[in-house]
C-alpha cells in the first residue's frame, strides 16, 4: 500500500528557545547539555526567539544543509506556533517549556530547582519521542472515487444530491420507492421557510425532482435498495438491487445516509383512539388535505369537517417507558400548519390544538402567531382519552384551569412522532452473530432476517449499518461533528440522525453533503478525517506477533478493522480516524503508527528522571487527551494558574490509545501515580473518538489486579473526565491528586526500576 520511503540515515536535532521568558526562568545551557548528552541529539542549538523568521530559518537550513531528519523543538506547546514550526518531510516533537513549565510552575527562586527539573525532563522526553518517530509518508491513491452515494430520495436525500451535484461532484441517488420526495411528497403543504413565516408553503418536491432528473451528474436508481456495501472511503463498492431483481454495481467515495423516518404506529395508541374511525395521524390528515385539494376537508365517510382537535405529543415525551420518550420537534409546527388548512378554507371551523408545551423551533413562533391570528384555539391540556366514531370526544386535563374536560369534534388528529429508519441495531446484532458463529441454528436464521432489515448492508466486521445511539437514531457526534457517524465517510442527514422538521433536514443534508465531499478528497490524499484531519499516519500491525485476540477489531470505534481469510486483523486505512484505540487495546502491542506508537510514548515515560525516595519529590505521570485535556492544561498555563511541578504530562491522541504497558512501566519505574485525563464518556459523551474515553475507563477499572500484584494501592492510577473549558478544574485535579499521593507516601517501587 505504502510507497517505501527512501531510506535515509536519521539525524536528530534539538532547538531550545529562550524567548518568552524561558531563558530568564531556566538554565538553557543545562537543557542544551541534556539534549546533547542524554537525548543524544547530533545537533543542539538554542535561540532567543525561535519562532521568528530567523529562528525558523536556522532550522530549515539545518534540514537542508545538515540533513537533519528529526527535530525536537523545546519551546512552547505543540498547540502554539504550528505554522512557524512546520517542516515538511521531517519528524518533529515538541517539548512544552512555556505553557507546560514556565507558566504553570510558581514564580520565585524557591521554585527554581523543581522548575529546572521539570524543563529538563520535558527536553529528555521530547528527544526520546522524536527518536522513535517516523515521518508518515502518506498514501496517495490514484484510483480513488470521488462520486458520492446518497441513500434515500426524500427531502434530505434530494437536497444532499443537488448540493453535491451543484458543487461539481457526481452523485448516485438510490430511492426505495418508485418516486422521489419521501414523506414530503405526501404533504399538502410544508411549514413556511421564508419570511414572514406566516403561511404554509408549497413543498417544492416536484421542482426538486425535476432538477434531479435533468442533472447529468446525478444517476438515479428508483425502486432500488442497497444489496451490499464493501470497501472504505474512496473505494466503496455498492450493489444496487432493483425491485425487479436486477443488480448494478456502483463505485463511490463516500455515502450520505438520508433514510428518514417512519411515523410512530398509531395502533400502539388505542387509548388515544388509534385505529378508530375519524381519528387520524398527521400523515392521515395530509392525505385528507391532498384529497380536498384546497376545498373543504372531508372525513373518510364524506362528511365535511366542521370541528377538529389536534392532540399533541401523542405517544411522545412519554415518561412511562411505553412509547417514544423524546420530542420529535416538528409536530407542533405541523399541527399549526394543518389547523390552518381548515381555517384558510373556512374560518368558522373550530380548530383546537391541545398541547402541553408548544415547541416551535426556528421561526416557528411567527407561524404560531399567524395561526392565532387566524383563530386557531390553543389549549394547554393533556389528553387522556380519545374516542372516535361519528362524533369524536377528547377527554383531557386542562393544565391551566386544572380540571378535567371533554371536547367533541368531527375529527381528531394525533401528533405522533418520528421513528428513525436507521437499519440494524448493532447492539442487538452482535450477540446474534456471536451465537451464529458458534453454530447456533436459530441465531443463523435470525442473522439472515436482521440482515434483511439493514439499510446499508455494510460488509464490515462490526455489522451492516452505522451504530445507533439513543432511541435508535444513527450515532453522530452531537457536540462536535454532527452528520459524522461512527463509520468514516458515511454521513447521516435528516431525521435518521435526530428528530427534525423539513427545514432542519435540508440544512442537515447540506452539511452532510459538504462533509461527504471533504471525505472523498481526504480519502484520495490518504488523509484522515477530523479530528485529526490531514493526518497521514495510519495504524499497521506486525502480524507475526498477533495472537488473533480480536480486541482491535471489536474495539475500534469506527469499524475500520475487518478480518482477513486467515482471521488476522485487516486494517482499512481510509476508514480509520487515527485514534489509536486499537493500539491501546492490543495486549501484545503489535499495532503502531509511524509517528505514534507504544514506543513513542513509552520512551517518554522512561526518559523522565525519577528522584530517589529520600528526595521527597514525587513524580506523577499525566496522560492527557490531546483534544480537550491537553488544551485545558495549556489554557491553565495561559491563565498563569499554578499546578504541581511534580507532574509530567504526555499528550495522547485519545485515552483509548493508552496501552496498559505505559502505566505499568511508569509504576515499575518509580512514579508515584498515574492520572489519565480524557473526555466525557457515556450517554452525553464528548469523546472525539466516541468510545475511546469509555474504553479507557473500562480498561482502567480492571487494572486493580495488576496493581495488587505489584503491591500498589489502587489510588496510584486514576482516570478523570475533563472538558476543554476545564482549565481551572484540571489544575485542581492535579493539585488534589498530588496532595492525596503525598498522604499515601512514596511509591514502594522506587529504586527498583
Partner 1 sequence: MTINQNAANQAAVERYRNNFLKEVEANVEEGHMVKMCMQCGVCAGSCPLGNAWEHSPQKIFMMIRAGKRAEVLGSDSMFMCTSCYNCMVRCPRQLPITHIMHGLANYAHRLGLAPKGQPTRDFATLFWNNAIKRGRVNELMLTLRHYFRGGLVSGIKEAMGMQSIGLGLLLAKRLNPMEIFGGHGVKDLKGFHAIIAKAKEIEDRKKGFTA
Give me the residues that bind ligand SF4 (CB under 6 A), please: 312-313, 316-317, 327-329, 331-332, 357, 359, 415, 417, 539, 541, 546-552, 556, 558, 560-561, 569, 571, 576-582, 585-586, 588, 590-591
List residues bridging with 569 in a β-sheet: 563
- Name which of 381 and 539 has its Cβ closer to partner 1: 381
Closest CA to 434 of 424, 423, 444, 449: 444
Picked from partner 1, ligand SF4, none, the partner binding residue 541 (CB below 5 to 8 A depending on kind) is ligand SF4
Picked from ligand SF4, partner 1, none, the partner binding residue 382 (CB below 5 to 8 A depending on kind) is none
Closest CA to 231 of 480, 456, 25: 456
Question: What is the crossing angle of helices 502-525 and 155-166, to 10°?
Answer: 40
CA atoms within 13 A on the CB side of 410: 17
- Name which of 102 and 700 has its Cβ closer to ligand SF4: 700
Distance separating the N- and C-terminal Cα atoms of the chain? 41
Picked from ligand SF4, partner 1, none, the partner binding residue 548 (CB below 5 to 8 A depending on kind) is ligand SF4
Q: How far is CA 236 from the centre of its chain?
A: 21
- Name which of 356 and 642 has its Cβ closer to partner 1: 356
CB of 310 to partner 1, least distance (A): 15
Distance CA 592, CA 600 (A): 10
Beta 673-678 vs 647-652: how paired, if at all?
A: unpaired
Distance CA 96, CA 541 (A): 30
The binding site for partner 1 (CB under 8 A) comprises 350, 358, 368-369, 372-373, 375, 377-380, 398, 400-401, 405
Chain length of the chain:
753
- Name which of 208 and 650 has its Cβ closer to ligand SF4: 650
Rounded-to-5 percentages of helix, strand, coil across the chain:
35, 20, 45
CB of 465 to partner 1, least distance (A): 42
- Name which of 17 and 363 has its Cβ closer to partner 1: 363
Picked from partner 1, ligand SF4, none, the partner binding residue 378 (CB below 5 to 8 A depending on kind) is partner 1
- Name which of 372 and 405 has its Cβ closer to ligand SF4: 372
CB of 415 to ligand SF4, least distance (A): 4
- Name which of 332 and 411 has its Cβ closer to ligand SF4: 332
Q: Are 240 and 228 in contact (CB under 8 A)?
A: no
CA atoms within 13 A on the CB side of 343: 21
Picked from ligand SF4, partner 1, none, the partner binding residue 551 (CB below 5 to 8 A depending on kind) is ligand SF4
CB of 249 to ligand SF4, least distance (A): 27
Q: Are 529 and 577 in contact (CB under 8 A)?
A: yes
The three grid cell numbers given for residue 202, joined into one nine-digit string: 408549497
592-604 burial string, b = 16+ CB within 10 Å, else e?
bbbbbbbbbbbbb
CB of 317 to partner 1, least distance (A): 18
Sign of CA dihedral 136, 141, 147, 151: negative
CB of 584 to ligand SF4, least distance (A): 8
SS3 string, 391-414, reads CEEEEEEECCCCEEEEEEECEEEE
508-547 burial string, b = 16+ CB within 10 Å, else e?
bbbbbbbbbbbbbbbbbbbbbbbbbeebbbbbbbeeeebe
**What SS3 state is found at 257?**
strand
- Name which of 57 and 405 has its Cβ closer to partner 1: 405
Residues 6+ apart with CB under 8 A from 53: none
Closest CA to 648 of 604, 687, 704, 585: 604
Picked from partner 1, ligand SF4, none, the partner binding residue 136 (CB below 5 to 8 A depending on kind) is none
Q: Are 415 and 316 in contact (CB under 8 A)?
A: yes
Picked from ligand SF4, partner 1, none, the partner binding residue 377 (CB below 5 to 8 A depending on kind) is partner 1
Residues 6+ apart with CB under 8 A from 300: 277, 278
CB of 126 to ligand SF4, least distance (A): 24
Would you tell me how many other CB atoms lie within 10 Å of the CB of residue 33?
A: 15
Picked from partner 1, ligand SF4, none, the partner binding residue 258 (CB below 5 to 8 A depending on kind) is none
- Name which of 120 and 561 has its Cβ closer to ligand SF4: 561
Residue 541 φ/ψ, nearest 5 degrees: -120, 135
Picked from partner 1, ligand SF4, none, the partner binding residue 338 (CB below 5 to 8 A depending on kind) is none
- Name which of 218 and 415 has its Cβ closer to partner 1: 415
Is residue 88 exposed (0-12), middle (13-18) or buried (19+ Cβ within 10 Å)? exposed
Picked from partner 1, ligand SF4, none, the partner binding residue 467 (CB below 5 to 8 A depending on kind) is none
- Name which of 317 and 471 has its Cβ closer to partner 1: 317
Picked from partner 1, ligand SF4, none, the partner binding residue 331 (CB below 5 to 8 A depending on kind) is ligand SF4
Distance CA 116, CA 26 (A): 6
CB of 286 to ligand SF4, least distance (A): 16
- Name which of 381 and 489 has its Cβ closer to partner 1: 381
Picked from ligand SF4, partner 1, none, the partner binding residue 405 (CB below 5 to 8 A depending on kind) is partner 1
Distance CA 494, CA 220 (A): 20
CB of 593 to ligand SF4, least distance (A): 8
CB of 560 to ligand SF4, least distance (A): 4
Picked from ligand SF4, partner 1, none, the partner binding residue 44 (CB below 5 to 8 A depending on kind) is none
Would you tell me how many other CB atoms lie within 10 Å of the CB of residue 414?
A: 29
Distance CA 557, CA 48 (A): 44
CB of 328 to ligand SF4, least distance (A): 5
Distance CA 337, CA 356 (A): 18
CB of 368 to partner 1, least distance (A): 7
- Name which of 105 and 650 has its Cβ closer to ligand SF4: 650
- Name which of 398 and 507 has its Cβ closer to partner 1: 398
Picked from ligand SF4, partner 1, none, the partner binding residue 694 (CB below 5 to 8 A depending on kind) is none
- Name which of 370 and 659 has its Cβ closer to partner 1: 370
The three grid cell numbers given for residue 485, joined into one nine-digit string: 457517524
Picked from ligand SF4, partner 1, none, the partner binding residue 213 (CB below 5 to 8 A depending on kind) is none
6-26 burial string, b = 16+ CB within 10 Å, else e?
eeeebbbbbbbbbbbebbebb
- Name which of 342 and 596 has its Cβ closer to ligand SF4: 596
The three grid cell numbers given for residue 403, joined into one nine-digit string: 380540571
Picked from ligand SF4, partner 1, none, the partner binding residue 669 (CB below 5 to 8 A depending on kind) is none
Picked from partner 1, ligand SF4, none, the partner binding residue 82 (CB below 5 to 8 A depending on kind) is none
CB of 518 to partner 1, least distance (A): 42
CB of 324 to partner 1, least distance (A): 25
- Name which of 269 and 354 has its Cβ closer to partner 1: 354
CB of 561 to ligand SF4, least distance (A): 5
Would you tell me how many other CB atoms lie within 10 Å of the CB of residue 441?
A: 9
Would you tell me how many other CB atoms lie within 10 Å of the CB of residue 702?
A: 9
CB of 642 to ligand SF4, least distance (A): 35
Name the maximum alpha-carbon separation found in the chain: 95
CB of 372 to ligand SF4, least distance (A): 10
Amino acid at each position: 500500500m505504502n510507497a517505501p520511503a527512501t531510506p535515509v540515515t536519521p539525524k536528530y536535532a534539538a532547538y531550545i528557545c529562550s524567548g518568552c521568558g524561558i531563558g530568564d526562568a531556566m538554565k538553557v545551557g543545562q537543557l542544551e547539555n541534556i539534549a546533547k548528552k542524554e537525548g543524544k541529539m547530533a545537533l543542539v542549538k538554542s535561540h532567543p526567539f525561535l519562532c521568528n523568521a530567523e529562528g525558523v530559518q536556522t532550522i530549515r537550513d539545518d534540514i537542508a544543509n545538515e540533513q537533519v531528519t528529526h527535530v525536537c523543538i523545546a519551546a512552547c506547546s505543540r498547540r502554539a506556533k504550528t505554522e512557524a514550526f512546520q517542516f515538511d518531510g521531517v519528524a518533529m516533537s515538541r517539548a512544552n517549556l512555556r505553557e507546560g513549565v514556565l507558566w504553570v510552575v510558581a514564580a520565585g527562586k524557591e521554585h527554581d530547582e523543581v522548575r529546572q527539573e521539570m524543563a529538563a525532563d520535558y527536553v529528555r522526553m521530547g528527544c526520546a519521542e522524536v527518536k522513535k518517530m517516523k515521518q508518515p509518508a502518506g498514501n496517495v491513491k490514484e484510483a480513488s472515487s470521488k462520486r458520492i452515494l446518497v441513500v434515500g430520495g426524500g427531502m434530505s436525500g434530494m437536497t444532499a444530491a443537488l448540493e453535491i451535484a451543484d458543487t461539481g461532484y457526481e452523485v448516485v441517488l438510490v430511492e426505495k420507492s418508485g418516486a422521489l420526495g419521501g414523506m414530503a411528497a405526501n404533504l399538502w403543504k410544508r411549514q413556511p421557510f421564508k419570511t414572514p413565516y406566516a403561511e404554509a408553503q408549497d413543498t417544492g418536491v416536484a421542482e426538486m425532482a425535476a432538477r434531479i432528473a435533468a442533472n447529468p451528474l446525478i444517476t438515479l436508481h428508483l425502486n432500488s435498495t442497497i444489496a451490499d456495501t464493501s470497501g472504505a472511503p474512496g473505494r466503496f463498492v455498492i450493489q444496487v438491487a432493483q425491485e425487479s431483481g436486477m443488480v448494478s454495481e456502483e463505485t463511490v467515495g463516500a455515502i450520505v445516509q438520508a433514510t428518514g423516518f417512519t411515523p410512530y404506529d398509531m395502533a400502539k395508541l388505542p387509548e388515544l383512539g388509534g385505529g378508530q374511525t375519524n381519528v387520524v395521524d398527521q400523515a392521515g390528515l395530509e392525505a385528507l388535505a391532498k384529497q380536498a385539494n384546497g376545498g373543504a376537508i372531508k372525513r373518510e365517510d364524506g362528511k365535511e369537517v366542521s370541528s377538529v382537535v389536534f392532540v399533541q405529543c401523542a405517544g411522545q415525551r412519554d415518561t412511562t417507558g411505553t412509547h417514544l420518550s423524546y420530542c420529535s420537534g416538528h409536530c407542533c409546527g405541523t399541527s399549526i400548519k394543518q389547523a390552518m388548512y381548515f381555517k384558510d378554507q373556512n374560518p368558522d371551523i373550530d380548530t383546537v390544538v391541545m398541547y402541553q408545551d408548544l415547541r416551535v423551533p426556528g421561526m416557528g413562533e411567527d407561524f404560531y402567531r399567524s395561526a392565532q391570528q387566524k383563530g386557531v384555539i390553543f389549549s394547554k391540556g393533556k389528553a387522556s382519552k380519545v374516542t372516535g366514531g361519528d362524533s369524536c370526544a377528547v377527554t383531557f386535563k386542562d393544565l391551566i384551569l386544572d380540571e378535567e374536560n371533554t371536547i367533541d369534534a368531527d375529527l381528531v388528529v394525533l401528533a405522533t412522532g418520528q421513528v428513525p429508519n436507521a437499519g440494524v441495531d448493532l447492539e442487538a446484532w452482535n450477540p446474534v452473530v456471536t451465537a451464529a458463529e458458534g453454530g447456533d441454528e436459530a441465531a443463523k436464521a435470525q442473522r439472515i432476517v436482521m440482515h434483511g432489515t439493514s439499510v446499508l448492508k455494510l460488509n464490515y466486521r462490526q455489522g451492516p449499518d452505522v451504530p445507533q445511539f439513543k432511541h435508535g437514531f444513527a450515532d453522530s457526534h452531537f457536540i462536535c461533528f454532527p452528520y459524522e457517524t461512527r463509520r468514516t465517510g458515511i454521513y447521516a442527514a435528516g431525521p435518521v440522525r435526530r428528530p427534525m422538521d423539513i427545514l432542519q433536514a435540508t440544512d442537515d443534508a447540506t452539511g452532510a453533503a459538504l462533509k461527504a465531499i471533504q471525505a472523498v478528497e481526504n480519502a484520495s490524499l490518504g488523509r484522515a478525517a477530523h479530528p485529526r484531519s490531514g493526518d497521514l499516519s495510519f495504524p499497521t500491525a506486525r502480524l507475526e506477533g498477533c495472537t488473533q485476540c480480536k480486541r482491535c477489531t471489536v474495539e475500534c470505534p469506527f469499524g475500520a478493522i475487518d478480518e482477513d481469510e486467515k482471521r488476522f486483523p485487516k486494517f482499512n486505512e481510509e476508514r480509520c480516524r487515527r485514534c489509536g484505540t486499537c493500539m491501546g487495546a492490543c495486549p501484545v502491542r503489535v499495532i503502531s503508527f509511524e509517528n505514534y506508537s507504544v514506543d513513542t510514548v513509552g520512551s517518554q515515560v522512561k526518559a523522565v528522571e525519577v528522584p530517589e525516595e529520600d528526595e521527597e519529590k514525587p513524580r506523577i505521570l499525566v496522560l492527557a487527551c490531546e483534544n480537550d485535556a491537553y488544551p485545558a492544561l495549556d489554557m491553565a498555563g495561559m491563565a498563569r494558574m499554578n499546578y504541581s511541578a511534580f507532574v509530567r504530562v504526555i499528550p495522547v491522541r485519545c485515552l483509548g490509545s493508552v496501552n496498559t504497558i505505559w502505566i505499568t512501566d511508569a509504576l515499575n519505574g518509580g512514579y508515584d501515580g498515574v492520572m489519565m485525563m480524557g473526555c466525557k464518556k457515556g450517554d452525553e459523551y464528548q469523546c472525539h473518538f466516541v468510545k475511546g474515553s469509555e474504553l479507557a475507563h473500562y480498561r482502567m477499572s480492571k487494572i486493580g489486579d495488576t496493581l495488587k500484584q505489584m503491591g500498589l494501592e489502587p489510588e496510584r492510577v486514576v482516570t478523570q473526565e475533563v472538558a476543554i473549558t476545564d482549565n481551572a478544574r484540571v489544575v485542581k485535579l492535579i493539585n488534589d491528586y498530588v496532595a492525596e499521593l503525598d498522604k499515601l507516601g512514596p511509591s514502594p517501587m522506587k529504586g527498583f526500576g
